Amino acid sequence: MHIVILGGDGYLGWPTAMYLSRKGHQVTVVDNYFRRESCRELDVAMLYDVPSLPERARIWHELTGLEIKVVLADLAQPENVRNLFSGDVSYDWAVNENFTGVPEAVVHYAEQPSAPYSLIDHNHANTTITNNLLVTNNLMFAVKDMAPDVHIVKLGTMGEYGTPNIDIEEGWIDISHKGREDKFLFPRQAGSIYHTSKIMDTDLLWFGVRMWDLKVTDLMQGPVYGVDTDESLLDPRLRTIFNYDEVFGTVVNRFIVQAVVGYPLTVYGKGGQTRGYLNIKDTLQCVHKALETPAEAGELRIFNQIMETLSVNQIADLIATVGKTRGHAVEVKQLENPRKEAEEHYYNPVYQGLLDLGVIPHYLTEKVVREMFEVVEKHKSTIRKAIIFKGIKW
Amino acid sequence: MHIVILGGDGYLGWPTAMYLSRKGHQVTVVDNYFRRESCRELDVAMLYDVPSLPERARIWHELTGLEIKVVLADLAQPENVRNLFSGDVSYDWAVNENFTGVPEAVVHYAEQPSAPYSLIDHNHANTTITNNLLVTNNLMFAVKDMAPDVHIVKLGTMGEYGTPNIDIEEGWIDISHKGREDKFLFPRQAGSIYHTSKIMDTDLLWFGVRMWDLKVTDLMQGPVYGVDTDESLLDPRLRTIFNYDEVFGTVVNRFIVQAVVGYPLTVYGKGGQTRGYLNIKDTLQCVHKALETPAEAGELRIFNQIMETLSVNQIADLIATVGKTRGHAVEVKQLENPRKEAEEHYYNPVYQGLLDLGVIPHYLTEKVVREMFEVVEKHKSTIRKAIIFKGIKW
């Protein structure tokens, strides 16, 4: 299958590219280095440097003989999206510079993915909204106009649902009201501008699916943790980016860094905030399984992409436990919550669809945490404590 | 009360400005002439010319002694919104150039309001999304950062709800699911990119209300018809803009123009599409009543702003009936529907809240239609038949 990955330089994009390449697919990645540039803008470092995207693709080819074509382009510009379908594209790295042909599937990761980033100020909120919606809209129109059979696999977020007082279904709910019935998108109410931009993506794709019979899978993902995947074990230069700051670092990854440098684990408020989590390896499995069994024409297929639910306190306790066995003096510290969110709440999401497709879940075990500690400890000397917590409020 | 009207040059914005000015409020209008420029871009004419916005304000002052301050600015630029609260604003017309002070309320009409415009192509879709969301987001952040007590009165659309198979409540619905309960935004699923951008506005404002205790009234308006209001009767130069083309002309206004020039009334498909309608005079009443009784802090108050529901066939029949009494050979013609929409459907919206606030409804009677015919007939010689129907498909 020919698959284009939008946002192919990111935390999930690059590992997905390698995974699908090794499964025998022809992969093209597109990115505009938004994350790398934002890290520079905000002065937040990554745990280790990663090569440029063309260089990563070159190393991958050198080690495996497999080609991942690279395009460096801003997908908020419609022509850059349309060129991926017309063939009017020039590759920034490729073994064979010829156009691979119209893709059969597009995996869409090309979004500003951070809640705190989206709430730094009105300008960052605007950037989040315009980037995320323009990329999605450009993709939707390009597919409708140029390649209506393409399967769009879009990364959504469990955060779209918020923490309602009813069970969270996989995307949809049947409502009976005053003796009549209809089926609707499950109610959405998010806790940040970023998460709200993902609700808007859903609004947009649901429109496109109804109007133009597009094929869309929306993967409502929880926070992802992890560093290595089977492919990155080939060579450390193939590892995905690893942020440990408040803006771009996801909670498990960030807490392990904090434990290693003796920075207290920063639990916001009571720490009862419960979310669904998954290992980065499971993101790859989920996207792959979704690609193997595409949505039907006119179907917005929604899966809740999590493998277990955990509270912040549970995560902090687990990391403290493992950290202590490795000689780190780990302290857990409750901070006044910089966010407006429920610190104790009902949370009962359904997450069965991807398991039914054959995904084999990993869980956040002591062993998994230990392996992450091993990676982080090797890079301890590079960690900048000052960037861990910035206190962005909303 | 000091009230700022965003989109104060538009079909509803300018009549609202005069209405509120006459009620004794201090009014500032802001506009970037988006509608006038789009009419030029798309080569669609208005039924008659209207003076520039400063000139309208000057005429209003000359006739009434009342001041409507004018700012010409693009509100998608955050600084242009923030300046309205900081006082760092220069007026393009004013009797007294001093800053009036932080407004107590903002009426937000500054959106690209046309469904067909939003579906001309991907570029017009992008313009719709970015303009509408950036103005709303800029307003939300300016209020949060600079004037959190401001009451935002936002024009939504009944089109956000679509045509569900259950009764449409005023914005909210209680859902019982698997033995638990919660209250949510009423499900939304719109029929165009424009209407979808309004869903996104709701997503955004609902976030702001929950996070920052903003005071927001969202008026879910149906298609508006009419020309004159009590204020425009003072002088025809004060009349609101009147579009009769497929892109910017609302259905009643457009059909009357078609009847006058012998252009068949273009019913899409079976004509059973039912919507809620209101007279432009009732828009002014509704906005005024909403301003008089503001939403509470932390309340997203939603009203369905319609006065009656009508099918396209009912409207066409009424206009044909009145047209024939005035000597016009009115033909009703069913066209293949250029849109994907239900042509026969259940439709039962609640619209009680604004009546409870004291709004006295007008209805689409033969008399009202006759008065509109009188205005249109006077301008018959200027009507360009070629621009009535463009066949924008989606």
> A243-270: per-residue pLDDT in tens?
999 999 999 999 999 999 999 999 999 9
Tokens encoding B219: 């008026």
Number of domains in chain A: 1
A196 interface with B at CB cutoff 8 Å: yes
Sign of the dihedral through C-alpha B253, B255, B258, B262: negative
* pLDDT at A378 exceeding the cut of 90: yes
Catalytic-role residue among B198, B215, B281, B289: B198
In which residue ranges of chain B is pLDDT below 70?
Answer: none
> How far is the C-alpha of A260 from the C-alpha of A247, rounded, in Å?
19
- Give the pLDDT confidence score for residue B390 in this predicted structure: 84
> How far is the C-alpha of B19 from the C-alpha of B226, rounded, in Å?
15
Please indicate, yes or no, if residue A131 is contained in any of the structural domains.
yes
Q: Note which residues in 60-99 of chain B have CB less than 8 A from chain A.
A: 78
Q: Would you call B198 a catalytic residue per the annotation?
A: yes
Which stretch of DSSP H or E encloses residue B308? strand B308-311
Residue of A174, A196, A337 best to disrupt the B interface, most CBs of B under 10 A: A196
Residue of A74, A129, A177 best to disrupt the B interface, most CBs of B under 10 A: A177
Nearest CA in chain A to B133: A129
Please indicate, yes or no, if residue A281 is contained in any of the structural domains.
yes
B206 interface with A at CB cutoff 8 Å: yes
* pLDDT at A21 exceeding the cut of 90: yes
Residue A191 — pLDDT band, cuts 50, 70, 90? very high
Contact B133 A134 (CB under 8 A): no
Query: Shortest Cα distance from B117 to chain A (angstroms)?
Result: 15
Provide the CATH number for the domain around residue B372: 3.40.50.720
Please indicate, yes or no, if residue B392 is contained in any of the structural domains.
no
Among candidates A43, A39, A48, which has minimal Cα distance to A248?
A: A39
Contact A187 B178 (CB under 8 A): no
A/B interface, count of CB pairs below 8 Å: 138
Residues of chain B found within 8 Å of residue A126, distances taken between Cβ atoms: 78, 134, 137-138
Please indicate, yes or no, if residue A392 is contained in any of the structural domains.
no
CB A71 within 8 A of CB A7: no
Q: Would you call B274 a catalytic residue per the annotation?
A: no
Alpha helices by DSSP H, listed for chain B, are: 13-22, 34-42, 53-64, 78-86, 115-118, 122-146, 193-212, 251-261, 280-292, 312-325, 353-356, 366-378
Query: Shortest Cα distance from B45 to chain A (angstroms)?
Result: 29
B190 interface with A at CB cutoff 8 Å: yes
**Among B122, B141, B166, beta carbon nearest to A181:** B166
**Among B165, B185, B204, beta carbon nearest to A187:** B185
Tokens encoding A157: 């977020």
Residues of chain A found within 8 Å of residue B123, distances taken between Cβ atoms: 78
Please indicate, yes or no, if residue A177 is contained in any of the structural domains.
yes
Please indicate, yes or no, if residue B393 is contained in any of the structural domains.
no
> How far is the C-alpha of B27 from the C-alpha of B29, rounded, in Å?
7
* pLDDT at A391 exceeding the cut of 90: no
Tokens encoding A231: 């492919």
Contact B184 A181 (CB under 8 A): no
pLDDT, tens digit, 9 for 90 and up, residues A38-84: 999 999 999 999 999 999 999 999 999 999 999 999 999 999 999 99
**Among B78, B129, B164, beta carbon nearest to A133:** B129
Q: Note which residues in 37-56 of chain A have CB less than 8 A from chain B.
A: none
Q: Would you call B378 a catalytic residue per the annotation?
A: no
Residue of B83, B129, B202 best to disrupt the A interface, most CBs of A under 10 A: B129
Please give the span between the terminal C-alpha atoms of chain A, in angstroms, as a whole number.
Answer: 43
Please indicate, yes or no, if residue B359 is contained in any of the structural domains.
yes
- Give the pLDDT confidence score for residue B391 in this predicted structure: 87
Query: Shortest Cα distance from B305 to chain A (angstroms)?
Result: 22
Please indicate, yes or no, if residue A356 is contained in any of the structural domains.
yes
Nearest CA in chain B to A125: B137
Contact B165 A180 (CB under 8 A): yes
Question: Which structural domain range is residue B284 located in?
Answer: 2-387
Provide CB contacts within 8 A for B20, sequence distance 6+. Answer: B3, B5, B27, B287, B288, B291
How many other β-carbons are positioned within 10 Å of the β-carbon of residue A334? Answer: 17
Contact A211 B121 (CB under 8 A): no
> How far is the C-alpha of A387 from the C-alpha of B253, rounded, in Å?
59
Residues of chain B found within 8 Å of residue A176, distances taken between Cβ atoms: 166
pLDDT, tens digit, 9 for 90 and up, residues A316-370: 999 999 999 999 999 999 999 999 999 999 999 999 999 999 999 999 999 999 9
Query: Shortest Cα distance from B82 to chain A (angstroms)?
Result: 10
Known catalytic residues of A? Answer: 157, 194, 198
Contact A122 B141 (CB under 8 A): yes
Task: Calculate what percentage of chain A has a pLDDT beyond 70.
Answer: 100
What mean pLDDT is predicted for residues A161-173?
98
The SS3 call for residue B281 is: helix
**Among A78, A176, A211, beta carbon nearest to B126:** A78
Nearest CA in chain B to A204: B196
**Pairing of β A308-311 and β A274-279:** antiparallel
- Average pLDDT of chain A to the nearest whole number: 97
pTM reported for the whole predicted model: 0.98
Sign of the dihedral through C-alpha B334, B270, B373, B320: positive
CB A345 within 8 A of CB A272: yes
